[in-house]
Amino acid sequence: MHWVGCASSNFRSGRPAGFKPEAVVIHIAEGSLASVDAWFNNQAAVVSAHYCVGKNGDVHQYVKEEDTAYHAGNPIRPAWKLLKRGVNPNFYTIGIEHEGHAGDVWTEAQYAASAALVADIAKRWSIPLDADHVVMHREIYALRTCPGSQFDRSKFLALVKTVPANQPT
Ligand SMILES: [Zn+2]
């Protein structure tokens, strides 16, 4: 885990009263890990995620899990059944970007590192490891394919469940 941080305009310190992480949202970055580092540190971006996982398995962190990252606001035709109507999804989710583009096949290192990260997050926040709590961004925002055509959630969830308890990430 490598702490990068992000520009102050790109996240909200803390979460509104009564909100804590209840689900993880999986994204594809449409760029490199380095480009994500730069974009989230650009004051003009007004977007962020808590983490980005590189194709080589490197994990960069930009926003503390206790804080609100701007990764999944503004639901459009949401399919996610646990979405809270009229509430910004960023308030109760953790966002994870992944290096690469929507059509890229995910590397095994990227799957493994992201699975270990999600297992860790789930343990910290008592988040169930199922498709209702490991959400694809397009299930909140249907105008994008994010996290792309190659992300295999069934494979990912199976991997998450093989991560040993207490394994540091
Ligand atoms: Zn996304």
Q: Output the DSSP codes for 70-121.
A: -SS-S-BS---TT--TTS-GGGGEEEEEESB-TTPPPPHHHHHHHHHHHHHH
**C-alpha 17 to ligand 1 mean position (Å):** 25
Domain assignment of residue 165, yes or no: no
Domain assignment of residue 73, yes or no: yes
Domain assignment of residue 167, yes or no: no
83-135 per-position pLDDT tens digit: 999 999 999 999 999 999 999 999 999 999 999 999 999 999 999 999 999 99
**C-alpha 96 to ligand 1 mean position (Å):** 9
**C-alpha 24 to ligand 1 mean position (Å):** 12
**C-alpha 162 to ligand 1 mean position (Å):** 25
Split into its structural domains, the chain has a count of: 1
> CA–CA distance from 127 to each of 50, 54, 132, 164 (Å)?
16, 23, 10, 16
Q: What is the pLDDT of residue 9?
A: 97
**C-alpha 31 to ligand 1 mean position (Å):** 12
Give yes or no for a cis peptide into 147 (omega within 30° of 0).
yes
Domain assignment of residue 169, yes or no: no
State pTM to two decimals. 0.96
CATH at 133:
3.40.80.10
Domain assignment of residue 168, yes or no: no
Domain assignment of residue 128, yes or no: yes
Residue 19 belongs to domain spanning:
2-160
Q: What percentage of the chain reaches a pLDDT higher than 90? A: 94
